[in-house]
Amino acid sequence: METIKRQNIKVIKNIDELFTLIDISLNRNISFHHHLRNGDYVLNHVLSKYKKENIKGINLFPSAIFPSYNMILELIKNDQINDITTNYINGPTAEYITKHGLPGKLKMQTHGGRARSIIEGKNKIDIAFIAAPYVNKFGDAVGYLGKNKCGSLGYCIPDSIYAKIKVLVTDNLVDNLIENPEINGENIDYILLIDEIGDTMGIVSGTTEITKNPIGVKIAKNTSLLLKELGLIKDNFSFQSGAGGVSLRVTKDLKDIMIKENIKASFFSGGITGYHVEMLEEGLVEKLYDVQCFDLEAIESLSRNEFHIPISASEYANPANENQVIKDLDIVILGATEIDYDFNVNVTTDSHQTLIGGSGGHSDTATEAKVSVIVSPLMRGRIPVIKERVTTITTLGKNIDCLVTERGIAINPLRKDLIKKLKDTKLKVYSINELANIAYNFTNIPKDIIKHDKIIGEVEDRTYKIIDNIYQK
Amino acid sequence: MSRSYLFIPGNTPSMIQNLDVFESDAIIIDFEDSVSSFDKDSARILIKNFLKKYSYNEVEIYIRINSADSMYFLEDVKVTKDLDIFGYVLPKASVEAIKELNKLTDKAIIPIIESPMALLKVEDIAKEKNVVALLLGAEDYTKELGIKRTLEAVEILYARSIIAITANAYNLDSIDTPYTNKEDEEGLLIDANNALNLGLTSKSSIHPNQVDIINQVFAPSESEILEAKRIVKKSEETDKGAFSLDGKMIDLPVIEKAKKVLEKAKKYNL
Does B73 contact A at CB distance below 8 Å? no
Please state the rounded mean pLDDT for residues B141-148: 96
Using a pLDDT cut of 70, give the percent of chain B over it.
100
Which residues in chain A show pLDDT less than 50? Answer: 1-2
What was the pLDDT predicted at A3? 57
Select from B22, B183, B269 the Cβ nearest to the Cβ of A214.
B22
For chain B, say whether A217 makes contact (Cβ under 8 Å).
yes
Nearest CB neighbour to B269, from listed A218, A426, A442:
A426
CATH architecture of A214-449: 3-Layer(aba) Sandwich (3.40)
Minimal C-alpha gap between B154 and chain A (Å): 30
| CA-to-CA separations, A411 to A295, A334, A438, in angstroms, rounded | 33, 15, 16
Domains A10-204 and A214-449 alike in fold: yes
Q: What is the dihedral of CA A360, A363, A369, A372, to 10 degrees?
A: 100
Task: Tell me the count of A-B CB pairs closer than 8 A.
Answer: 23
Map out the domains of chain A as residue ranges. Answer: 10-204, 214-449
**Residue B87 vs residues A105, B26, B64, B92, B173: alpha-carbon distances, Å:** 61, 11, 9, 16, 14
ipTM field = 0.88
Instruction: Describe chain B by its helix, strand, coil percentages, rounded to 5.
Output: 50, 15, 35
Residues 236-255 of B with CB under 8 A from A: none
Please check whether the domain covering B4-218 is classified as CATH 3.90.740.10: no
Q: How far apart are CA A109 and CA A459, in angstroms?
A: 6
The answer to whether B208 contacts A214, with C-beta atoms less than 8 Å apart, is yes
Which residue from A379, B252, B188, A299 is spatially nearest to A288, judged by alpha carbons?
A: A299
- Asked if A210 and A248 touch (Cβ cutoff 8 Å), the reply is yes
Q: Look at B23 and A442 and tell me if their CB atoms are within 8 Å.
A: no
Domain locations in chain B as residue ranges: 4-218, 222-267
Q: What is the rounded distance in angstroms from the CA atom of residue A137 to the CA atom of residue A39?
A: 25
Interface contact flag, A218 B17, Cβ < 8 Å: no
Q: How far apart are CA A260 and CA A330, in angstroms?
A: 20
Residues contacting residue A363 through CB under 8 Å, at least 6 positions apart: A110, A113, A394, A395, A396, A399, A461, A462
Q: In this complex, is the C-beta atom of B18 within 8 Å of any C-beta atom belonging to chain A?
A: yes
Whether residue B207 and residue A214 make contact (CB cut-off 8 A), yes or no, is yes
In chain A, which among 395-414 make CB contacts under 8 A with chain B? 406-407
Question: Cβ contact (<8 Å) for A218 and B269?
Answer: no
Q: Is the pLDDT of residue B162 over 60?
A: yes
Put simply, whether A426 touches B (Cβ < 8 Å) is yes
- Contacts of residue B21 in chain A, CB cutoff 8 Å? 214-215, 218, 406-407
- Residue B30's DSSP bridge partners are B9, B64
Helices and strands in chain B, H and E counts: 12, 10
| pLDDT at residue B178 is higher than 60 | yes
Query: B interface mutation test: which of A209, A213, A215 has the most B CBs within 10 A?
Result: A215
Q: For chain A, say whether B22 makes contact (Cβ under 8 Å).
A: yes
Give the span between the Cα atoms of B10 and A124, in whole angstroms: 59
Predicted pLDDT of residue A1: 47
CB A113 within 8 A of CB A321: no
At how many degrees (to 10) do helices A274-281 and A296-304 cross?
40
**Among all residues of chain B, which has the CA nearest to that of A212?**
B209
CA of A366, closest CA in chain B: separation in Å? Answer: 28
Q: Does A212 touch chain B (CB under 8 A)?
A: yes
Which chain B residues contact residue A245 at CB under 8 A?
A: none
Closest residue, chain B, to A427 (C-alpha) = B269
Residue-by-residue DSSP string for A125-150: -SEEEEE-SEEETTS-EESSSSTT--
Give the CATH architecture of domain A10-204: 3-Layer(aba) Sandwich (3.40)
The verdict on B207 touching A (C-beta cutoff 8 Å) is yes
Q: Calculate how close chain B gets to A406, using CA atoms only, in Å.
A: 7
User: Which of B21, B209, B212 is nearest residue A407 as measured by Cβ atoms?
Assistant: B21
Nearest CB to B21: which of A212, A215, A426? A215
Answer for the pair B110, B89: CB distance below 8 angstroms, yes or no.
yes
Tell me which chain B residues have a C-beta less than 8 angstroms from the C-beta of A426: 269
CA of B132 vs chain A CAs: smallest distance (Å): 29
Cα A351 to Cα A145: distance, rounded to the nearest angstrom: 40
Give residue A205's pLDDT: 55
Contact residues, chain B, for A442 at CB < 8 Å: 17
* Candidate from B17, B183, B209 with C-beta closest to A214: B209
The pLDDT of residue A208:
66
Least CB-CB distance to B209: which of A217, A379, A442?
Answer: A217
Residue B110 contacts residue B62 (beta carbons within 8 Å):
yes
pLDDT at residue A207 in the model: 55
User: Which of A212, A406, A426 comes nearest B21 by C-beta?
Assistant: A406
